[in-house]
Amino acid sequence: MKESSTLICNISDSKDLKKITRKTKYINLFLDKISNDVFSYFIENGSSLSYAESFTNISGYIYVDYDTFIKGETKIKEIIESMPKGLTDLEKIRYIYICLGNILSYDINTILEKNDNFMFENYSIINNLWGSLSTGKVTNLSVVKIFKYICNLLKIECEIIITNDYGYLCNKVIINGQTIIVDLMKDIPYIQAKFSTKYFSAYNSDVNLDKNIGYIKENYNDSNLDERIKTLLHNEKFNIYSLLMIIQQSIDVEKIKPIELGIILEDIFQKYYPIQKVVINNLYINDIYGNKEHFILISCNEKHYSYNFRKKSFVEVSKDELINNLESKKIGVYLDEEIPDLEIYNTKSMI
Same domain membership, residue 199 and residue 93: yes
Number of independent structural domains in the chain:
3
Residue 228 and residue 318 in one domain: yes
Q: Is residue 339 part of a domain?
A: no
pLDDT tens profile 265-274: 999 999 999 9
pLDDT (tens digit per residue) in 129-170? 999 999 999 999 999 999 999 999 999 999 999 988 788 999
Other Cβ atoms within 10 Å of 42 Cβ, number = 21
pLDDT for position 132: 97
Residue 296 within any structural domain of the chain: yes
Q: Report d(CA 83, CA 67) in Å as an integer.
A: 25
350 C-beta neighbours (distance < 10 Å), count: 20
Residue 345: band (very low, low, confident or very high) from pLDDT cuts 50, 70, 90: low
Co-location of 202 and 230 in the same domain: no
Band (pLDDT 50/70/90 cuts) for residue 123 is confident
Confidence bin at 348 (pLDDT 50/70/90): low
Same domain, 104 and 190: yes
SS3 of residue 248 by DSSP: helix
pTM: 0.93
Does 193 map to a domain?
yes
Q: Can you tell me the distance from the alpha carbon of 26 to that of 304, in angstroms, rounded to the nearest whole number? A: 50
Domain C-terminal end among 159, 188, 217: 217
Q: Are residues 235 and 314 in the same domain?
A: yes
- Residue 342 domain-assigned? no
Is 351 a domain residue?
A: no
On whether both 136 and 96 belong to a single domain, the answer is: yes
pLDDT band at 295 (very low <50, low <70, confident <90, very high): very high
Does 76 map to a domain? no
User: What range does the domain containing 324 cover?
Assistant: 221-333
Same domain, 249 and 213: no
Q: Is residue 299's pLDDT more than 90? A: yes
Domain assignment of residue 239, yes or no: yes
| Residues 227, 212 within the same domain | no
Q: Identify the pLDDT of residue 346.
A: 44
Alpha carbon distance 306, 296 (integer Å)? 6
Asked if 318 and 229 sit in the same domain, the reply is yes
Residues 203 and 227 in one domain: no
Residue 231 belongs to what H/E stretch?
none
Shared domain check, 306 and 259: yes
Which of the listed residues 170, 191, 217 is the one where a domain comes to its end? 217
d(CA 197, CA 285): 31
Average pLDDT, the chain: 91
Are residues 212 and 103 part of one domain? yes
pLDDT at residue 3 tops 50: no
What DSSP string runs through 269-331?
A: HHHH-TTS--EEEEEEEE-TTS-EEEEEEEEETTEEEEEETTTTEEEEE-HHHHHHHHHTTSE
Separation between Cα atoms, residue 306 and residue 299, nearest integer Å: 9
Per-residue confidence (pLDDT) for residue 53, from 0 to 100:
94
Rounded mean pLDDT, 179-208: 98
Residue 131 lies in a domain: yes
